[in-house]
């Protein structure tokens, strides 16, 4: 007998993300998100996990705002970011996210730093113990005090306006500014416990309203400003182990308004001397450099170099090794036809490990740098948040499969194709209401197209099929999903197909090239080939098939709607509809020129691949879904789509979320999303009347 995995069961499951290992290798910390009591958001608490797998997991933190960005200081202090209120300060209506420290021996967390603009994260120099803090400043402010004064002045005046002089001005779900990014270094001794309290009370200000606003936590100049500027937007930064040098990605053209091509948005890799501020360029050119990691002896940097691509040549990622002494560099394992991410050094300094998509999985690989020998350490599943132990023999990661949620595991650093050792954690249940199997179809050009097929277990006779089209488009179905759960759909008695058509990652650059800049060609035909292969299974009712997708998956759902009446219903979430309009309204329009070219001189590819050109062909019922705060695919795309569908008399519904962005993040909204989607599927696959959710 199987266990029910209905919508409510799904929404109650804890969600694990983020993993940190203490320097002594005795503690793992993971973030565990659960729905807040009001169901308006998910909040994250930190839990400690025994790396040996012997002790039971234990919750370390609890607050209404939740905690994130956990990492360990060299003395074992747990550092994290939280917007929890400071118990020693005057209450604030909306306190900014601050940096907190939890002593290794336990006790109450102490606020270290909370500038008015909040903090984005913290990293630690592994040898010196200094902290690298990301905290933005208003352009005219020279430090946290001046920034707080500017914040107060804007608030008192009721001003929220911004004046932009650079491109882009938005990113995913927020406008960039009015602050600019900055990097600060905090000395390791700032982590020392404060002196015992005395009975002497500070004298109050004569006029509290006129008192100079002070940063909470550390006073300046305890935090040293090392770098600032919009060139640091979305930058990835680390300190060398001795804390003397900041290694960071940097956009050299960020200060300029004019952007002539996607290459103008590439990032360099630079080194900044913490003491003097002197900087030098480590890598630059037509590639973007990111994810830097410094070797244990501080002599080298491994990073990811991304070729953004051109309309005729697909993007490519590779690893680059840079010598910090003489500036020389080389590509590492250049024949590796995969996209590496999150490179980490082994303590010996002679090898690295990294994660990458591969054929429907996300394994961990090792590369020995003396001969570039590549070893796949894991056999199956998807791994993230890799942490290497100081003994160099073990690594820890979060592990998931399409059919099981993320959980902490242990691996060794040298054995190939391992099965992981799972560690006790607050992970939720693994659903048994469906099985997961691999399906391979053959495209028209002979290329194999892989998919995962999720089949419900408690069924009689052939079942309807729902096709989930992934977003990206440079992505892959290879792990557990909280936003698009096939198991909630399988609970209704439907099979779910998760195909990886052209443009999917993990199958080599040639597989991406097949669909690069031609989204309506191989990605579409691959998808349809995968659908027909799955539909030929005797367990599938080939006459009852629906399609659903978000972002690029929504684009493809729209394209499918104008090309075929194969599906009984189509669900399109946060979708692209008019590529010409999308270029000017999305947050990163120039980024898409790498595939489709310059729309001002040659719009042909935008026009050829735009779903709206086929609106007159749409006869399939559609459910359109979008969030007002989506800046990557603005809600204008769905508004135009909705208008075009209504103008052409199509059978359609529009589910609108005023308070969501590209994703549906609030528990109650997620419940409404699934209720509406499942009702739409029952209407068109099971011939049941559509039931509007009670709260709608």
Q: Which of 682, 433, 453, 405 is nearest to 571 (CA)?
A: 682
E strand segments, 147-275: 170-171, 174-175, 182-186, 216-217, 223-228, 237-239, 245-250, 268-273
Contact predicate 61/45, CB 8 Å: yes
Contact predicate 134/121, CB 8 Å: yes
Give Cα 226 distance to the centre of its chain.
27
Identify the segments of the chain with pLDDT beneath 70. 1, 89-92, 193-221
SS3 45: strand
Predicted confidence at residue 675, as pLDDT, reads 98
In a domain, 498, yes or no: yes
Q: Which of 533, 537, 460 is nearest to 493 (CA)?
A: 460
Preceding peptide of 168 cis, ω within 30°: yes
Count the alpha carbons within 13 Å of 379 in the hemisphere toward its beta carbon: 6
Contact predicate 625/574, CB 8 Å: yes
**335-352 exposure pattern, b = at least 16 Cβ within 10 A, e = fewer:** ebebbbbbbbbbbeeebb
Tens digit of pLDDT for each residue in 521-564?
Answer: 999 999 999 999 999 999 999 999 999 999 999 999 999 999 99
Please state the pTM of the whole predicted model: 0.94
Whichever domain contains 562, its CATH number is 3.40.50.1820
Beta strands at 58-59 and 223-228: parallel, antiparallel or unpaired: unpaired
Residues facing residue 47 across a β-bridge: 30, 59
* Residue in the block written with tokens 């930190």: 46
Q: Indicate the Cα dihedral angle 509, 511, 512, 515, nearest 10°.
A: 150
Contact predicate 433/457, CB 8 Å: yes
Per-state percent for the chain, helix, strand, coil, to nearest 5: 20, 35, 50
In a domain, 371, yes or no: no
Predicted confidence at residue 222, as pLDDT, reads 73
In a domain, 12, yes or no: no
Tens digit of pLDDT for each residue in 231-249?
Answer: 999 999 999 999 999 999 9
Interacting residues of 357 by C-beta distance below 8 A, sequence separation 6+ = 338, 339, 475, 476, 478, 505, 506
Q: What 3 state SS string does 219-241 have?
A: CCCCEEEEEECHHHCCCCEEECC
CA–CA gap between residue 689 and residue 31 (Å, rounded): 41
Interacting residues of 475 by C-beta distance below 8 A, sequence separation 6+ = 357, 504, 505, 552
Q: Which of 415, 361, 404, 413 is nearest to 386 (CA)?
A: 413
Residues facing residue 652 across a β-bridge: 622
Please tell me the total count of domains within the chain.
1
In a domain, 427, yes or no: no
Q: Indicate the Cα dihedral angle 360, 675, 578, 263, nearest 10°.
A: -40
Residues facing residue 247 across a β-bridge: 238, 271
Kind and range of the H or E element at 680?
Answer: helix 667-685
CA–CA gap between residue 113 and residue 218 (Å, rounded): 5
CA–CA gap between residue 131 and residue 125 (Å, rounded): 6
In a domain, 109, yes or no: no
Give the C-alpha distances (Å, rounded to integers) separating 291 from 319, 425, 521, 583: 10, 28, 33, 28
Q: Indicate the Cα dihedral angle 415, 419, 425, 428, nearest 10°.
A: 150
Contact predicate 437/514, CB 8 Å: no
Per DSSP, the residues of 594-614 read HHH--TTT--HHHHHT-GGGG
SS3 416: coil
CA–CA gap between residue 303 and residue 602 (Å, rounded): 35
Predicted confidence at residue 137, as pLDDT, reads 96
- What are the structure tokens assigned to 243, written together? 């804390």
Contact predicate 453/534, CB 8 Å: yes
Contact predicate 574/557, CB 8 Å: no
Predicted confidence at residue 193, as pLDDT, reads 66
Contact predicate 254/166, CB 8 Å: yes
| Cβ-based neighbour number of residue 472 at 10 Å | 13
Predicted confidence at residue 212, as pLDDT, reads 43
CA–CA gap between residue 538 and residue 488 (Å, rounded): 22
Residues facing residue 425 across a β-bridge: none
Give Cα 29 distance to the centre of its chain.
19
CA–CA gap between residue 493 and residue 515 (Å, rounded): 33
Interacting residues of 108 by C-beta distance below 8 A, sequence separation 6+ = 102
Predicted confidence at residue 340, as pLDDT, reads 97
Q: Indicate the Cα dihedral angle 150, 156, 162, 165, nearest 10°.
A: -30
Classify residue 209 by burial, with Cβ atoms within 10 Å: 0-12, 13-18, 19+. exposed
Give the C-alpha distances (Å, rounded to integers) separating 60 from 49, 103, 141, 566, 692: 10, 11, 36, 52, 41
CA–CA gap between residue 107 and residue 17 (Å, rounded): 24
In a domain, 50, yes or no: no
In a domain, 495, yes or no: yes
CA–CA gap between residue 112 and residue 299 (Å, rounded): 31
- What are the structure tokens assigned to 131, written together? 């902290």
SS3 585: helix
Q: Indicate the Cα dihedral angle 399, 401, 404, 407, nearest 10°.
A: 0
Domain that holds residue 615: 434-685
Q: Which of 591, 670, 581 is nearest to 634 (CA)?
A: 581
Predicted confidence at residue 203, as pLDDT, reads 39
Q: Which of 72, 65, 76, 61 is nearest to 19 (CA)?
A: 72
Residues facing residue 355 across a β-bridge: 341, 364
In a domain, 606, yes or no: yes
Q: Which of 549, 551, 507 is nearest to 527 (CA)?
A: 549
SS3 402: coil
The dihedral through the CA atoms of 614, 619, 622, 628 has a sign that is positive
DSSP class of residue 98 equals E
CA–CA gap between residue 94 and residue 259 (Å, rounded): 37
């Amino acid at each position: 007998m199987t266990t029910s995995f209905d919508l409510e069961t799904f929404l109650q499951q804890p969600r694990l993300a983020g993993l940190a290992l203490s320097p002594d290798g005795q503690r793992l910390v993971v973030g565990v998100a659960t729905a807040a009591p009001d169901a308006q958001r998910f909040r994250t608490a930190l839990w400690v996990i025994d790396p040996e797998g012997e002790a039971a997991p234990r919750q370390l933190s609890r607050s209404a705002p939740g905690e994130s960005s956990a990492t360990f200081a060299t003395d074992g202090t747990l550092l994290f970011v939280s917007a929890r209120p400071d118990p020693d300060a005057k209450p604030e209506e909306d306190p900014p996210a601050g940096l907190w420290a939890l002593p290794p021996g336990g006790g109450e967390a102490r606020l270290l730093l909370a500038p008015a603009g909040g903090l984005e994260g913290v990293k630690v120099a592994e040898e010196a113990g200094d902290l690298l803090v990301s905290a933005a400043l208003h352009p005219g402010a020279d430090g946290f005090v001046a920034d707080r004064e500017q914040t107060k002045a804007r608030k008192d005046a009721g001003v929220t306006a911004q004046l932009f002089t650079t491109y882009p001005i938005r990113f995913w779900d927020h406008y960039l500014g009015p602050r600019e990014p900055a990097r600060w270094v905090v000395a390791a001794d700032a982590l020392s416990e404060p002196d015992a309290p005395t009975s002497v009370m500070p004298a109050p200000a004569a006029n509290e309203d006129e008192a100079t606003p002070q940063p909470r936590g550390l006073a300046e100049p305890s935090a040293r400003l090392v770098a600032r500027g919009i060139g640091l937007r979305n930058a990835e930064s680390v300190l060398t182990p001795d804390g003397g040098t900041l290694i960071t990605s940097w956009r050299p053209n960020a200060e300029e308004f004019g952007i002539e091509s996607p290459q103008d948005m590439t990032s360099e890799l630079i080194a900044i001397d913490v003491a003097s501020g002197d900087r030098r360029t480590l890598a630059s050119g037509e590639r973007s450099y990111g994810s830097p990691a410094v070797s244990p002896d501080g002599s080298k940097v491994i990073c990811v170099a991304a070729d953004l691509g051109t309309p005729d040549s697909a993007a490519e990622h590779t690893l680059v090794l840079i010598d910090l002494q003489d500036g020389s560099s080389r590509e590492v394992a250049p024949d590796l036809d995969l996209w590496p991410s999150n490179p980490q050094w082994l303590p010996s300094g002679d090898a690295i490990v990294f994660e990458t998509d591969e054929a429907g999985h996300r394994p961990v690989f090792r590369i020995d740098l003396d001969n570039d020998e590549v070893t796949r350490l894991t056999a199956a599943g998807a791994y993230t948040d890799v942490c290497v132990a100081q003994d160099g023999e073990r690594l820890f990661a979060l592990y998931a499969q399409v059919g099981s949620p993320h959980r902490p595991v242990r691996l060794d650093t040298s054995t190939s194709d391992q099965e992981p050792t799972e560690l006790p954690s607050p992970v939720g249940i693994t659903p048994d209401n469906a099985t997961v199997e691999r399906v391979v179809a053959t495209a028209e050009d002979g290329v194999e197209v892989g998919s995962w097929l999720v089949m419900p277990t408690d069924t009689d006779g052939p079942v309807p099929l729902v096709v989930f089209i992934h977003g990206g488009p440079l992505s892959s179905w290879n792990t557990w999903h909280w936003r698009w759960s096939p198991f909630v759909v399988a609970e209704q008695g439907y099979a779910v197909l998760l195909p990886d058509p052209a443009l999917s990652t993990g199958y080599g650059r040639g597989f991406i090239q097949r669909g690069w800049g031609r989204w309506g060609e191989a990605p579409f035909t691959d998808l349809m080939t995968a659908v027909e292969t799955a539909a030929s299974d005797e367990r599938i009712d080939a006459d009852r098939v629906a399609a659903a997708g978000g972002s690029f998956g929504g684009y493809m759902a729209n394209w499918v709607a104008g090309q075929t009446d194969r599906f009984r219903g189509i669900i399109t979430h946060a979708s692209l509809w008019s590529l010409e309009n999308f270029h000017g309204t999305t947050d990163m329009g120039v980024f898409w020129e790498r595939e489709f070219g310059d729309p001002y001189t040659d719009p042909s590819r935008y026009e050829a691949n735009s779903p709206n050109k086929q609106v007159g062909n749409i006869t399939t019922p559609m459910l359109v879904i979008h969030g007002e705060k989506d800046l990557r695919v603005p809600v204008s795309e769905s508004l135009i789509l909705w208008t075009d569908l209504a103008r052409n008399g199509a059978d359609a519904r529009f589910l609108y979320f005023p308070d969501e962005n590209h994703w549906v993040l609030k528990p109650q909204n997620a419940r409404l999303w699934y209720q509406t989607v499942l009702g739409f599927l029952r209407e068109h696959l099971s011939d049941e009347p559509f039931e509007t959710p009670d709260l709608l």
